[in-house]
Structure 1
């Protein structure tokens, strides 16, 4: 018996993938066929067929490079080209991509034949790149960049991976100079409890408070305020 005109055949796989993308990346995909393709490894397609995720993996690899180049260029204005290239390479390393993919539960939706001899960890790392390619094609670069960076931040310690200088005051100073903004620290001594003295610092950017810090010395209080401000700017 055929379907009535007002009835639609249920897309079980599409619904499952849509739910998985929403849970892992925080948005609802529009063109679900792109994600079906992104999750189809070549071992699952017929010999010689192009209906697998390799082309989307190629696209996603390039998009990921651009997203990270964009992010690093903006976040580290004093870093030279060679340093930025090395920093990006650490994030897109196989080890990092596999770790991110596993935490995003990417592997649960990938149809792969059991006899295929490529390590499954490698497959899900490649598939993450294919998904990024699908996201870019589906909703455009700007949203893709936001979603990709959020997925990376949520699943790895980016500062630890990059091994960046943790002098947040200097980093904040460089950023405000580049943006032609004014940064100012205001600090006061406060009493905690009955007799414990602390310094509380607030950092202002163009007269707007961006971060607070409290410590036993004025210098350390300002450092903590700068770190909080930098975290807000990096979100």
Structure 2
């Protein structure tokens, strides 16, 4: 470990060190260059309060991580959704890499607890600041890319990003019904029909269960707070079923 990273490590609390170690263990990854790992979680406010020391904050890593993340998400979507148009892929990618989504990923991983902050930033609630969390997520990706390349980044994204896409977390920007219709038409498989199977729950919190039928046979069911959402989720399940039959 270099003198820079050693000094930085000494200024992390024992709790921060423990949490970083736990985090790395939880994603089954380790850094060859520990300095990159520390830098990924070093906010500019900490560097500004320690100008007498030679530190680098995570802003350059954030710049790199932003580009790497966009590339990896693009590749994932390109392979997962072969029926999607360029416009649909672009819209979905934008929803995944936007700040609110990155904040959600970072919060799930408890990144706010790992960042090394200056005292002023700490006192003003910096650990919960959306921009800081999103930046830390991108910085970590940038550091991981420099340390071990795209395969390690892909492994990381398979844990914290790709599953949420597959599970429909971004269905609000995806028209699954149109995608399913296009697939069925291209294959000449027949006609689609949607039906609401069940409505349950109180009026202010209704849940709808929908099915989509192909030639009279159910190929997918889904639930949602509205009939439209339930049908979209049913179409998503149907797409997965049709792709498995290919």
Using the size of structure 2 for normalisation, the TM-score is: 0.61
Which SS does the other structure have where 1:19 is aligned? helix
Where does residue 196 of structure 2 map in the other structure? none
Counterpart Cα distance in 2 of 1:26 and 1:81: 34
Q: Secondary structure, in 3 states, of the residue corresponding to 1:112?
A: coil
- CA separation of 1:51 and 1:157: change in aligned 2, threshold 3 A: same
* Kept in 2: contact 1:43–1:112 (CA 8 A): yes
- CA offsets 1:107-159 (integer angstroms, 9 cap, x no match): 11111123136952211110010001111122211231232143114567762
Superposition pairs of residues 1-235 of structure 1, within 5 angstroms: 16-23=19-26, 25-45=27-47, 46-47=50-51, 51-116=56-121, 119=126, 120-154=129-163, 159-162=168-171, 163-167=173-177, 219-223=216-220, 226-227=238-239, 229=241
Give SS of 1:78's match. Answer: coil
Distance 1:106 1:140 in 2: 21
| Structure 1, gaps ≥5 residues long | 1-9, 185-213
CA contact (8 A) 1:169 1:223 kept: no
Q: Counterparts of 2:61 and 2:82 in 1: how far apart (Å)?
A: 31
SS of 2:84's partner is coil
- Pair member with larger Rg: 1
Distance 1:51 1:34 in 2: 10
Q: In structure 2, list runs of 5 or more residues that go unmatched.
A: 1-8, 190-210, 222-236
Distance 1:124 1:154 in 2: 20
Matched residue, 2:231: none
Describe the superposition over 1:175-228 as per-residue Cα deviations: whole angstroms up to 9, x where unpaired: xx9xxxx9x9xxxxxxxxxxxxxxxxxxxxxxxxxxxxx999974533367455
Equivalent position SS for 1:221? strand
Displacement of 1:27 in angstroms is: 2.4
| Structure 1 pair 98–215 and aligned structure 2 pair: CA distance change class (3 A) | closer
Aligned residues: 189
